[in-house]
Amino acid sequence: MEIKRAVTNVRAVVLMVIFFTVFAIFVGRIAFIQVTKEVSGHELDTLAEERWSRSIDLKGQRGTIYDRSGGIIAEEVMSYNVYAVLNTEQREYVKDPSATAEALAPYINQEVDNLTRLLSQEGKFQVELGSGARNLTYEQMVEINELELDGIFFSSEPRRYYPKQTYASHVIGYTERNMTESRMGLERSLDEYLQGTDGRITYQADTKRIPLLNQEEMISPAENGHNVYLTLDSNIQTALEQIMTEVDEEYEPERMIAIVADPKTGQILAMSNRPSFNPNRYESITNYMNYAVSDHFEPGSTMKIFTVAAAIEEGVYDRNKQYQSGTMQVGPDPVRDHNYGRGWGQITYEEGFYRSSNVAMAKLALEDLGAEKLYDYWEKFGFTEPTGIDLPNEVNSLIARGSQMDVATTAFGQGTAVTPIQQIQAATAIANGGQMMKPYVIDRIEDPNTNEIVVKNEPEVVGEPISEETSEKMLGLLEGAVTESMGTGRPYYLEGFDVVGKTGTAQIPNPAGPGYIQGHGENIFSFLGMAPKDDPSLLVYVAVERPNISEMETGSEPSRKIFTTIMKQGLQYLNIAPTVEDIAKETEQGYRLDDFNGETVKKAKEVLSNEQLDVVVLGDGKNVISQEPAAGIGLLAGEKVFLRTDSDSYSIPDMFGWSSRDVLRLADVLEITPNLFGYGYVVSQDTEAGGAVKPGDYITIELKQKNDESVEQELENEQELEETEESSGEDS
């Protein structure tokens, strides 16, 4: 009995020791875990955080690109994709594939039969409906949604959108639709500014993802990308795109280049190329190069401007000195004038410039200036270095140096290759009293998160290759090249506007062998011009390569259409109208507009009506607070004068049949921004007549030429209606 009890006691002690040992290990483990907060190398805090934490990504938007007046050129928008649910176990599904396809097909660019087949597939839960059902705008989504089709749903995602389509597309470039990659233009070169930074909200939730009570959210805010404001002018750029498209369709040239600049500041107001592209449909791009900055070619006779300017500056140009035109021997090779070397006999250097004589330029370079001085001025005019314009992929020139023939041909624009933007920069010195302005297209870059301006460009003088006196003399010569009967720039004359400039007809090197491509129209036809002569406000360069012209047409016709359209509309937009003196010379009429600010509307209307001007009163106030055109502008009878009154509200008049010039004057006086599509006369407006507007609003106007038969008919109908209303008023 005693032995049995002793055994039992031993067992009890052993069990107790084991128990306390296990307990001690357990407690020690718990203490260890509490102190180290780690199990098998895994941190418990991290595991708990991962189990209970939830997060929501916050997307930072890509920055917006604007034109100079705040019009959107590129922006991030929400796009929509259409899909169809076919599973019959769902609450909503496509019940009638045939009827659904019939209603939906026109909205997504699908054939009804093909769409019916997609909607009739068995065993499919849901299906996508093709490329036409992707990347829809909000307006398109609403239109489809209003059809109330069973089983048709939408998914959304952000994408890059270019509302103005081909507008300055080579300047802007593009990104992939989902904005994962920037491909070209400013979209690529400014990617670090435009990219947004994603943020995140982190919070704790239970297993059902319901947020826990009294828990702190960790918020890392998203930051939107910077906004970019360009110097491009929407009205001038839009007009340029329209006329270039028209010329492209009519003449089918190999390519076209156009640049519009403010010579006083170097700001680029418009820039376009053909072939162009719509960045919303970048898959169809055929030309990735912005020819205005990324290509150099032999410019032709536009370079004679700078040869003569150098000669004047050096005091070796005598406009009345005579020389024998036609042919000049330079070493073993001849230099010929463009009329097959026939020339025009013994003529002055002034006439030689008007006629664009190659021999005159060769003699100036070789006999008067000398090679060293010529190339020295080429450097002063910026032809030996890229301009540094804030656009990607700018290339440099190729200057021909070495032989006497290199000097001669360089003087009249052959053998040496320069870029269009180099010519624009050099020409600012001619237009700007000798000061050469650096071209730029980015006005400023703003951080929308802080409203801070992070980049701001200002006009920059990059050289003074000539004096103000030489500039004035060159403007006089360039005027003669346009106004004189023998001037090659005669087709570019604009009645009422003092346009000056120089033509260029450049030969194209033959890729198949030595020499140049020969044949009618097988050249690059260009014009470098500015206006008005006494104080140039616009500088325009246009080049058209190998247009398809008839034997009866000259090569200047396509470039003339572009230049004169843009120069005229641009000057009108800038309110640079013909002076009263100009009008008087041409019509023996004219009225210099008085300043009516502060006058009563009654008095202003009385004065203007007596001058047979069309008075448009804006608002119902009694006094005039602003007017367009400004005081001092010359007007003819019948022209519109806009008087803004001291009113609390303003409404848009019926603008049908108005010229673009009148639309721009209305916009200026009301301080609203017009988006003009087309050119010519107003055929539609998005804000109906009588609709209220306030400063800062946008209006969209469509214009067409008067020779459009539909426009002519509408204008006639409008006139008949007005005459009927007038006669009805008299009868009553």
The residues that are catalytic are: 301
Distance CA 575, CA 538 (A): 12
Burial class of residue 71 (count of CB atoms within 10 Å of its CB; 0-12, 13-18, 19+): buried
Nearest of 565, 543, 546 to residue 424 by alpha carbon: 543
Q: Sheet with 538-545: list strands edge to edge.
A: 268-274, 255-261, 538-545, 523-531, 500-507
| Residue 518 neighbours by CB distance under 10 Å | 10
- For 109-123, b/e burial (b = at least 16 CB within 10 A) is ebeeeebbebbeeee
Distance CA 641, CA 607 (A): 12
Structure tokens of 120?
């009739």
Structure tokens of 452?
């801070």
Half-sphere exposure of 376 (CA within 13 A, CB side): 11
Q: How far is CA 221 from CA 158, 212, 556, in A?
A: 18, 21, 57
Residue with tokens 């718990």: 30
Asked whether the beta carbons of 299 and 413 are under 8 A apart, the reply is yes
> What are the start-end ranges of the E strands in 472-514?
500-507
Q: How far is CA 533 from CA 208, 236, 302, 477, 537, in A?
A: 76, 20, 17, 11, 9
Distance CA 588, CA 590 (A): 7
Asked whether the beta carbons of 472 and 512 are under 8 A apart, the reply is no
Instruction: Tell whether the torsion through CA atoms of 679, 682, 686 and 692 is positive or negative.
Output: positive
Q: How far is CA 572 from the centre of its chain?
A: 20
User: In sequence order, what are the residues at sequence separation of 6 or more whose Cβ sits closer than 8 angstroms to the Cβ of residue 545?
Assistant: 253, 254, 255, 256, 508, 523, 524, 525
- For 300-313, b/e burial (b = at least 16 CB within 10 A) is bbbbbbbbbbbbbb
Asked whether the beta carbons of 397 and 420 are under 8 A apart, the reply is no
